[in-house]
């Protein structure tokens, strides 16, 4: 079967924790490179390291909206948007390597604009312990990494909404979330008001992540496909598997389920861009989180390229 879409991968690093100052995600790109991620990805696909984007320094100052470092977040997201956009324009598949999850607004701005220019529908599949669907009004912390999914859907701070060339970048009906287990009260109200489809961990455990992801892919395919962006926050994994994250929440995904889901996403041929965010290298233990990130990405790329990766053989038997 022919696979549609880009056959080379451009990794864009965004070394900042502007969205949750001090959470440690600024060390993510350097930590993943030091763990050998680029070399390992290069074994399963044609991968180019597009380097790190840069953005302003920040101090966590709270503005009138009650949110921290909003202008700085918007600036970092703009830098991500531009470099991810260049990968897409050159026919590549962008992998945005965070950094904290606020940066997803930048990659979504690029991917949504790319989809629109091609006349294709745009969808986002979001893997996270948190929905990141707060608005400045509902956010208890004021950290901008809790806002990007809502902002993409057109709800939020004007400075963050201005990262995209248009708004909303994403229809709430085209957003689906998996692995959720830490939802703020106002955030839950936002999700319900927007009718976002989000799967909390009890439902994920009952139905299995692969079944839920398969249903989501089937629904998108039945609706005519389009450009599907995957935003993967490493804190969706259980902290036993991925301790190196800024905001760990117990009761998360096991690695085999996540890995099978990523391989399904790759094999679907529907995915056009991806984020891997919130790796706090300084909190990792025995390289577990970096190793998990590497397995997820190599599994995705190998499946998307229609290859069998020898390292995945034990999981083939599980699946």
Site residues (vs Mn ion, CB under 5 A): 101, 128, 132, 233
Q: How far is the CB of 116 from Mn ion (least distance, A)?
A: 24
Query: Is 123 in the active site?
Result: no
Q: How far is the CB of 100 from Mn ion (least distance, A)?
A: 8
Catalytic residue chosen out of the listed positions 72, 176, 187, 233: 233
Query: Is 49 in the active site?
Result: no
Q: How far is the CB of 129 from Mn ion (least distance, A)?
A: 7
Q: How far is the CB of 268 from Mn ion (least distance, A)?
A: 22
Catalytic residue chosen out of the listed positions 128, 176, 284, 309: 128
Half-sphere exposure of 258 (CA within 13 A, CB side): 30
Query: Is 176 in the active site?
Result: no
Query: Is 309 in the active site?
Result: no
Query: Is 235 in the active site?
Result: yes
For Mn ion, give the closer residue by CB, 44 or 155: 155
Using the CB atoms, write b or e for 257-291: b if 16+ within 10 Å: bbbbbbbbbbbbbbbbbbbbbbbbbebbeeebbbb
Catalytic residue chosen out of the listed positions 20, 114, 123, 130: 130
Query: Is 128 in the active site?
Result: yes
Query: Is 63 in the active site?
Result: no
CA atoms of 281 and 77, how far apart (whole Å): 21
For Mn ion, give the closer residue by CB, 28 or 92: 28
For Mn ion, give the closer residue by CB, 103 or 302: 103
Catalytic residue chosen out of the listed positions 17, 20, 52, 101: 101
Query: Is 278 in the active site?
Result: yes
Catalytic residue chosen out of the listed positions 17, 72, 100, 132: 132
Q: How far is the CB of 130 from Mn ion (least distance, A)?
A: 5
Which residues pair with residue 94 across a beta bridge? 10
For Mn ion, give the closer residue by CB, 47 or 96: 96
Active-site amino acid positions: 101, 128, 130, 132, 145, 233, 235, 278
């Amino acid at each position: 079967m022919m696979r549609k879409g880009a056959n080379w991968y451009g990794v864009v690093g965004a070394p900042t924790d502007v969205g949750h100052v001090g959470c440690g995600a600024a060390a993510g790109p350097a930590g993943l490179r030091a763990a050998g991620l680029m070399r390992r990805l290069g074994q399963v696909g044609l991968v180019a390291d597009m380097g790190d984007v840069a953005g302003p320094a920040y101090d966590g100052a709270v503005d009138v909206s009650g949110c921290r470092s909003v202008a700085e977040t918007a600036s970092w997201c703009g830098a991500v948007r531009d470099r991810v956009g260049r990968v897409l324009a050159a026919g590549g598949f962008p992998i945005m390597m965070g950094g904290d999850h606020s940066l997803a607004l930048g990659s979504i701005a690029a991917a949504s604009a790319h989809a629109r220019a091609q006349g294709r529908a745009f969808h986002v599949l979001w893997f996270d312990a948190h929905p990141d669907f707060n608005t400045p009004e509902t956010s208890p912390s004021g950290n901008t990494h809790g806002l990007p999914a809502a902002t993409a859907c057109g709800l939020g701070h004007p400075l963050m909404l201005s990262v995209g060339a248009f708004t909303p970048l994403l229809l709430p009906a085209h957003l689906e979330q998996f692995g959720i287990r830490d939802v703020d009260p106002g955030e839950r109200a936002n999700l319900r008001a927007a009718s976002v489809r989000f799967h909390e961990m009890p439902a994920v455990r009952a139905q299995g992540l692969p079944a839920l992801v398969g249903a989501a892919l089937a629904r998108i395919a039945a609706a005519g496909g389009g450009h599907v962006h995957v935003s993967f926050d490493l804190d969706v994994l259980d902290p036993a598997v991925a301790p190196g994250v800024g905001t760990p929440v117990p009761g998360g995904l096991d690695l085999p389920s996540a890995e099978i889901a990523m391989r399904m996403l790759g094999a679907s041929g529907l995915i056009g861009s991806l984020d891997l965010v919130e790796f706090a290298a300084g909190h990792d233990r025995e390289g577990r989180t970096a190793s998990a990130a590497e397995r997820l990405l190599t599994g995705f790329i190998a499946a998307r390229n229609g290859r069998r990766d020898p390292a995945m053989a034990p999981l083939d038997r599980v699946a």
